[in-house]
């Protein structure tokens, strides 16, 4: 064994050991915690990568993450992406509207009429007919 790539303090080491004994970790957290402990024991980056089935650069990133953030690096960072515009209650209202009687002059709801009515009733700020169709397609019983 060579010089460790990182040196965990006693508190971090005991926390990681206890965390691994719990048995209720996600795969990413488990691999990161195991990787840190292995690096602390003096294993090389390539050995840790081979043991955990990850790339060398991944183990190197864990090491650098620990140096920068400490044990906070075990958790995933929030990912970027478009925020949800229509939440579950709004989806439920749209589904209920689609299951209701069609407005006067229409035999049944169509997607454009449904989307316009949902915006008119204030369920959401804007809704395209294609997104309305996508929402209704995900429900078990769609009448559209």
Segment 15-31, tens digit of pLDDT: 999 999 987 888 999 99
So what's the pLDDT on residue 140? 67
Query: Is the Cβ–Cβ distance between 34 and 20 less than 8 Å?
Result: yes
Asked whether residue 37 is assigned to any structural domain, the reply reads yes
Q: Which of 109, 120, 116, 115 is nearest to 135 (CA)?
A: 115
The pTM of the full predicted model, rounded to 2 decimals, is: 0.58
Q: Mark the ranges of the chain whose per-residue pLDDT is less than 70.
A: 1-4, 139-144
pLDDT value of position 141: 57
Same domain, 15 and 69: yes
Domain span at residue 100 reads 88-137
| Whether 69 and 47 share a structural domain | yes
pLDDT computed for residue 142 by the predictor = 47
Question: What b-and-e string marks burial along 68-105, b requiring 16 or more CB atoms within 10 Å of the CB?
Answer: eeebebbeeeeeeeeeeebeeebbebbbebbeeeeeee
Model pLDDT, residue 3: 64
What would the pLDDT profile of 118-129 be if each residue is shown by its tens digit?
999 999 999 999
């Amino acid at each position: 064994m060579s010089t460790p790539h990182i040196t965990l303090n006693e508190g971090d080491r005991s926390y990681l050991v206890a965390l691994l004994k719990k048995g209720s970790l996600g795969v990413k957290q488990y691999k990161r915690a195991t990787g840190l402990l292995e690096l602390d024991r003096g294993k090389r980056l390539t050995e840790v990568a081979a043991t955990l089935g990850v790339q060398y650069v991944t183990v190197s990133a864990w090491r650098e993450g620990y140096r920068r953030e400490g044990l906070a690096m075990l958790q995933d960072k929030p990912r970027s992406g478009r925020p949800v515009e229509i939440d579950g209650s709004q989806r439920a209202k749209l589904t209920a509207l689609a299951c209701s009687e069609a407005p006067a002059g229409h035999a049944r709801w169509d997607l454009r009429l449904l989307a316009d009515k949902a915006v008119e009733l204030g369920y959401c700020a804007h809704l395209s007919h294609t997104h309305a169709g996508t929402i209704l397609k995900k429900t078990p019983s769609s009448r559209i």
